[in-house]
A and B are shown apart, each in its own frame.
Chain A
Amino acid sequence: MNLFEKIFNYQIISRLDDTGTFMVTAHERSWLKAMLQHPVASDAFTPETMDKLKSMLTKDEQMETSAHLIEKARSREKQVYHPLLRPLRRLIMNRSGIRITHCLRSGKVYSNQLGVPYRLEYSMVKREWYLLWHHVRNRAFMSTKLDKIISVTEEALPIERVNGILERIGQTLDNRKTEVLIEIIPHYNPELSRILYALSCFEKEVQYDAQQDTYTVEVCLLGEEKEYLLSKLRFLGKRVRVLEGNYVKKRMLEASTKALERYGVLGEDNL
């Protein structure tokens, strides 16, 4: 199987677009056939749709990669699909309001909150789904684990109001972004590729000072994402140093101090 097929050529794709032609290759069908073997597939379709798909794909070969492909450092696959994905994605698509009852970490239950669903977000780290939504009364941007949602129903809201809220969510998210500036300690430049790979999951900008042979990375993220950035920074250890971003710097100091205390190598007088 060659991924660089003529049929995937950009000129063909854009011409097919112009004429509204739908095209699908054996490559894609064989991938789909393999994915339908995954246990979660039954959560994604009604039994009738599943039967239809399977019969459409009978003639196709199933892609086989598992025999010679090993995945390492993979998180346990806790959740790939969630029963709420299907109804929620339709509510998002229809720009409806919602009435949601959910509980917090503490177990406290919030009943019948009026909201507007924004997106469904999957955390590759925690392997779980979240609903991102706007809490109308509190005017707050919320992220609620689907597992913590007790019930959610459609609630009619004027479309103009929903559109206004969705637009504001976009602006709010933009406004809430902050920057953290990270320096790659030049001594570790031989590991540059590894370091940049580790940071490649963030929205970022790299600067290179040719005279000093020094790289700095400006990571742009939302406040609540700082925890994840911090775990990456601890992951990289002494290879990187935070130059700008007081909260992150403080937390790195705290982590290193506490860690040394754990190891019993930092006396009170050293603090």
Chain B
Amino acid sequence: MAKESFDKEIQFLRMLVLTSGAYNRQQFAKRLGISVNTFDKTIRRLKEIVQATYQLPEDQGKEFTEGIRYNYYDSADPMLLFLFRAKSLKESESQRLSLLLGALSALSLNVHELLDYCMNALPTNLPLPDEKTIRKDLKYLEEVGVIQKEGDVRPFKYAIRNEFIRELTEDELLDLYDFVDVMANTQTPSVQGYLLRDGLKKQLIRGHSDKHAVEPFLYKYHYHSRILDEAHLFTILDAIRKHRKVRFLYFSPKTEKSYASKNTNPLFERETEGKSEKTLPLKVVYDHQYGRWYLLSYGREGIRKYRMEGITQFEEDEAVDPAWFEEKQQELQDKLRYSWLIDTGAPVTVRAKFYNPGESGPNFVKQRVLLQGQWGQIVEEDGDSFTYQITVNGTTEIKPWLRSFGSSCEVLEPVRLRREMIAEWKEIRAYYESV
């Protein structure tokens, strides 16, 4: 069987989250480069996953788009996690694996005992497994670390690895759940943490905790689609570790050219073809400013930057000389040193004057600069204001951040950036002059 790819589902969910409600079926399908029929099929499949994952009764399945709509105070469940539940499986296999785990959670058993158990417990409409199949299942479950062999006497007994619930008291389990919740929400990567949170949450609910007990925390604000790209993260990191080149079909989210020629929105108007790329991955960058992921690599033209969301049909290729890889990675690292995000252009020194808020009370302007100003320094300070200085590659990436301070920030240098800021504030003012 060909390797199952989730590219379509990922693109689909991303667009759904970003453009929630904007497009009808035809528009949506067109922008994804798929037929309406495929669109309907994808939505049906995702809906089925959501319903099974959250155990929703049919009538609560609602409109799919509505169902996954973000509602902050309702739940802290990461709404796109169900994507990682999408791996398809034969009915008989999913029955068998869950039966085996159910049996092992009660006591350790060997392969013969498990075979007997399955023979008795499997629904009659399903084919009965043979010993070989059970052995294969056990091998898989051992590989993913869900079960382990016990002792060294044949036939081996297998035990489920549920130490967390076996050895921790209820109170300790609560601490573990909280820690996992906090770390999955505040650290990167997070998908494995969210999966663990999900399992622990269900366990706590089984122990009669109510919603109030399992969701005491809220996080403000999250970029919900960020976890979609973690789907690629580990395969890319793996290729980097092995110094391997990779091949993929790339759909650039910014296709200015096609924008100029077609009078439509280019971003979701994907080329049906994509561009075939072969490149040596060096680093992955997560940008907290937008919640976006990048792959930085080395190709024929030098350093290349790809948005991870545009990467599909990812495959590993040949390995390169490790020494050469190290050299290229070091080169990239040197260039990224002054990148606010990923700009590798020429470094410039930016100086900006920040004005403290007038009233007494905490200086939230300074607090925010210290918190978010990366490696920049406060070089001058008096009662009313302070001067922040930073060397960055180009000014494009830092500009929105400086502008977000509104009139509390005045760019001093470089003059070009100062002029750009003035021009932009004039335009913005013109939008609201009639207010």
Count class of interface residues, chain A: 35 or more
**Can you list, as one digit per residue, whether each of B167-209 has a CB less than 8 Å from chain A (1) or not (0)?**
1100010111011101101111101110110010011001001
- The reply on A45 being an interface residue by CB < 8 A is yes
In the complex, A246→B91 CA distance in Å?
Answer: 56
Interface size on B, residues (CB 8 A): 152
When the two chains form the complex, which single residue of A52, A72, A230 contacts B286, counting CB atoms closer than 8 Å?
Answer: A72
Question: Contact: A44 with B52, CB < 8 Å?
Answer: no
- The reply on B386 being an interface residue by CB < 8 A is no
- The reply on A262 being an interface residue by CB < 8 A is yes
CB-CB nearest in chain B for A19: B102
What's the nearest-Cβ distance from chain A to residue B376, in Å?
12
Question: Contact: B400 with A235, CB < 8 Å?
Answer: yes
When the two chains form the complex, which single residue of A60, A92, A122, A213 contacts B145, counting CB atoms closer than 8 Å?
Answer: A60
- The reply on B267 being an interface residue by CB < 8 A is yes
Question: Contact: A73 with B341, CB < 8 Å?
Answer: yes
In the complex, A122→B174 CA distance in Å?
Answer: 18
B-side contacts of A75, CB under 8 Å: 288, 371-372
- The reply on A161 being an interface residue by CB < 8 A is no
In the complex, A196→B400 CA distance in Å?
Answer: 15
Question: Contact: B222 with A69, CB < 8 Å?
Answer: no
- The reply on B117 being an interface residue by CB < 8 A is no
In the complex, A19→B203 CA distance in Å?
Answer: 11
Question: Contact: A205 with B89, CB < 8 Å?
Answer: no
Question: Contact: A69 with B286, CB < 8 Å?
Answer: yes
**Can you list, as one digit per residue, whether each of A154-196 has a CB less than 8 Å from chain B (1) or not (0)?**
0000000000001000100100000000000000011111101
CB-CB nearest in chain B for A126: B371
- The reply on A9 being an interface residue by CB < 8 A is yes
What's the nearest-Cβ distance from chain A to residue B237, in Å?
5
Question: Contact: B192 with A27, CB < 8 Å?
Answer: yes
Given A6-B93, A44-B175, answer yes or no on A70-B267 (Cβ-Cβ < 8 Å).
Answer: no
Q: Which of B91, B290, B336, B341 has the most CB of A within 10 A?
A: B290
**Can you list, as one digit per residue, whether each of B90-105 has a CB less than 8 Å from chain A (1) or not (0)?**
0101110110011001
Given A93-B213, A260-B426, answer yes or no on A23-B407 (Cβ-Cβ < 8 Å).
Answer: no
B-side contacts of A173, CB under 8 Å: 73
B-side contacts of A74, CB under 8 Å: 288
Q: Which of B33-41, B108-116, B253-261 touches A?
A: B253-261
Given A13-B85, A95-B212, answer yes or no on A27-B219 (Cβ-Cβ < 8 Å).
Answer: no
**Can you list, as one digit per residue, whether each of B275-306 has a CB less than 8 Å from chain A (1) or not (0)?**
00000001111111111100000000000000
In the complex, A236→B217 CA distance in Å?
Answer: 29
In the complex, A188→B27 CA distance in Å?
Answer: 20
- The reply on B135 being an interface residue by CB < 8 A is no
Question: Contact: A265 with B186, CB < 8 Å?
Answer: no
CB-CB nearest in chain B for A169: B73
A-side contacts of B424, CB under 8 Å: 237-238
**Can you list, as one digit per residue, whether each of B228-252 has a CB less than 8 Å from chain A (1) or not (0)?**
0011011101101100000000000
What's the nearest-Cβ distance from chain A to residue B152, in Å?
16
Question: Contact: B52 with A10, CB < 8 Å?
Answer: yes
B-side contacts of A60, CB under 8 Å: 145
In the complex, A72→B94 CA distance in Å?
Answer: 40
Given A15-B98, A69-B283, answer yes or no on A89-B196 (Cβ-Cβ < 8 Å).
Answer: no
Question: Contact: B22 with A208, CB < 8 Å?
Answer: yes
Given A22-B203, A173-B73, answer yes or no on A9-B400 (Cβ-Cβ < 8 Å).
Answer: no
Q: Which of A2, A5, A9, A90 has the most CB of B within 10 A?
A: A9
What's the nearest-Cβ distance from chain A to residue B358, in Å?
12
B-side contacts of A35, CB under 8 Å: 179-180, 183, 187, 193
Question: Contact: B284 with A69, CB < 8 Å?
Answer: yes
**Can you list, as one digit per residue, whether each of A51-84 has a CB less than 8 Å from chain B (1) or not (0)?**
0110010001001010111111111101011000
- The reply on B4 being an interface residue by CB < 8 A is yes
Question: Contact: A215 with B285, CB < 8 Å?
Answer: no
CB-CB nearest in chain A for B265: A189
CB-CB nearest in chain A for B340: A73
Question: Contact: A203 with B49, CB < 8 Å?
Answer: no
**Can you list, as one digit per residue, whether each of B407-432 has a CB less than 8 Å from chain A (1) or not (0)?**
10110000000100110111111011
- The reply on A110 being an interface residue by CB < 8 A is no
Question: Contact: B342 with A23, CB < 8 Å?
Answer: no
CB-CB nearest in chain B for A80: B186
Question: Contact: B285 with A208, CB < 8 Å?
Answer: no
CB-CB nearest in chain A for B161: A24
- The reply on B18 being an interface residue by CB < 8 A is yes
Question: Contact: B19 with A25, CB < 8 Å?
Answer: no
In the complex, A156→B267 CA distance in Å?
Answer: 56
- The reply on B55 being an interface residue by CB < 8 A is yes
Report, nearest first, the 5 A-B pairs whose CB atoms are least far apart: A26-B145, A258-B407, A201-B221, A31-B192, A15-B98
- 13 of the cross-chain contacts (CB-CB < 8 Å) are A14-B52, A20-B206, A32-B196, A46-B172, A70-B284, A92-B216, A197-B290, A208-B22, A213-B264, A235-B401, A252-B432, A256-B429, A260-B422
Given contacts A13-B53, A23-B146, could you give 4 more A-B pairs where the C-beta distance is less than 8 Å?
Answer: A11-B91, A25-B195, A193-B18, A255-B406
